[in-house]
Amino acid sequence: MTEFIPRATRFVDLPDGFPMRAGGTLHGARIAYESFGRPSPAGDNVILILTGLSTDAHAASHPHDPGPGWWEAMLGPGRPIDTDRWHVICVNSLGSCKGSTGPASIDPRTGEPYRLDFPELSIEDIADAAAHTVRALGFERLACVIGVSMGGMGALSLLTRHPGLARSHVNISAGVHSLPFSIAVRSLQRQAIRFDPQWNQGRYDTEHYPCRGMLTARKLGMMTYRSAREWDSRFGRARLSPERSCDEGPFGLEFQVEGYLDFHAQRFLHRFDPNSYLYLSRSMDRFDLGESCGTTAEEALARLHLEKALVIGVESDILFPLSQQRELAEALGAGGPGVEFLALESPQGHDAFLVDVARFGPPVAKFLSVGW
């Protein structure tokens, strides 16, 4: 099984017998992370970033890995998350295949990859593993935890399960649970992978990789990460050039929007472990902050008493619609002042935080520079 670890990624071991919320324990597990900027002598300038489902810890370029990261424009010296001031740790989620232990990792009991023998994964496990990572690196208190998309769920879980670990919070394009439309999207993505004969109940290898299932899953994902409005102006009804369109046989690619989806989905192939995708995807469906805290999400959030928080949503997001961020901000606000809610008009939908730096940069920069 190939692993997909960026060059500058480092590792923290999880305690042996790391308990998983839904049962089972992990032995010899580790969490991959990268860090940016320097910790202050008092260790009071630490920011933790929790990522989306398919992202690695390489959030930005690095002296040891100059390749651009997934949040390059947001993170670095003089950038909105300013590494001249902050020491930033970005963690690869437990269960992922980008360096942290997941279904593609070797199960020390058998010497073989876990595959579907990996224990059930919860967002809470991802949060606990991230909290352990921060503490193992010597930090008892974070200035801020920033969570984007799935990482926003993880951040809420971390805040409620590890009270006092973070002073503040930035939550971007997430929610306290998954709504049925996004559950349906992910269910269909998982089905496409499971329906691919090459998936073979999780026993694929590099030569027999479920390409078709992963292509369908990724394209469906992209359709929900962006917005119809963006595509109207970006692609309209423009056709692909004939060479591009006829290499697929009958009913192949014809319009530019089809070529765009195919190009990006093909790039994703062989860069992500399908079983890992299934585990992470289902953990998002199942996450329910209220259920997790044995109360309602509102009550759990009102108890947090953060020094401040910023909740950002995007009007064109169909995966985590704006109503979810509004409700989250209201509930956080019930726990104290200093909670700001921002509805951005980006046309790029759920993915806006990755690309619309013009809209996302200033409020994040302001949140991190004022009022400490």
Q: Which residues bind a second copy (CB under 8 A)?
A: 116, 177-181, 183-185, 187-188, 190-192, 194-197, 201-202, 212, 215-216, 219-220, 223, 228, 231-232, 234-237, 249-251, 253-258, 261, 278, 282, 285-286, 288, 318, 321
Q: Cβ closer to a second copy: 78 or 249?
A: 249
Give the 3-state DSSP-derived string for the chain, with helices as H, strands as E and coil as C: CCCCCCCCCEEEECCCCEECCCCCEECCCEEEEEEECCCCCCCCCEEEEECCCCCCCCCCCECCECCCCCCCCCEECCCCEECCCCEEEEECCCCCCCCCCCCCCEECCCCEECHHHCCCCCHHHHHHHHHHHHHHCCCCCEEEEEEECHHHHHHHHHHHHCCCCEEEEEEECCCCECCHHHHHHHHHHHHHHHHCCCCHHHCCCCCCCCHHHHHHHHHHHHHHHCCHHHHHHHCCCCECCHHHHCCCCCCCCCEHHHHHHHHHHHHHCCCCCHHHHHHHHHHHHHCEHHHHHCCCHHHHHHCCCCCEEEEEEECCCCCCCHHHHHHHHHHHHCCCCCEEEEEECCCCHHHHHHHCHHHHHHHHHHHHHCCC
What is the dihedral angle through the alpha carbons of 267, 314, 368, 38, rounded to the nearest 10 degrees? -10
Catalytic residue among 35, 93, 105, 149: 149
Q: Cβ closer to a second copy: 327 or 330?
A: 327
- φ, ψ of residue 196 in degrees (nearest 5): -75, 120
For residue 237, the minimal CB distance to a second copy (Å) is 6
Q: Cβ closer to a second copy: 6 or 349?
A: 349
For residue 223, the minimal CB distance to a second copy (Å) is 5
Catalytic residue among 177, 350, 351, 356: 350
For residue 250, the minimal CB distance to a second copy (Å) is 6
Cβ atoms within 10 A of the Cβ of 140, count?
10
Q: Cβ closer to a second copy: 162 or 226?
A: 226
Q: Cβ closer to a second copy: 26 or 192?
A: 192
For residue 288, the minimal CB distance to a second copy (Å) is 6
Query: Can 350 be counted among the known catalytic residues?
Result: yes
For residue 195, the minimal CB distance to a second copy (Å) is 4
Distance (Å, rounded) from C-alpha 227 to C-alpha 224? 7
For residue 319, the minimal CB distance to a second copy (Å) is 9
Catalytic residue among 56, 128, 262, 317: 317
Instruction: Answer yes or no: are the C-beta atoms of 335 and 168 closer than 8 Å.
Output: no
Q: Cβ closer to a second copy: 61 or 245?
A: 245
For residue 344, the minimal CB distance to a second copy (Å) is 19
Q: Cβ closer to a second copy: 264 or 359?
A: 264
List the catalytic residues. 149, 317, 350
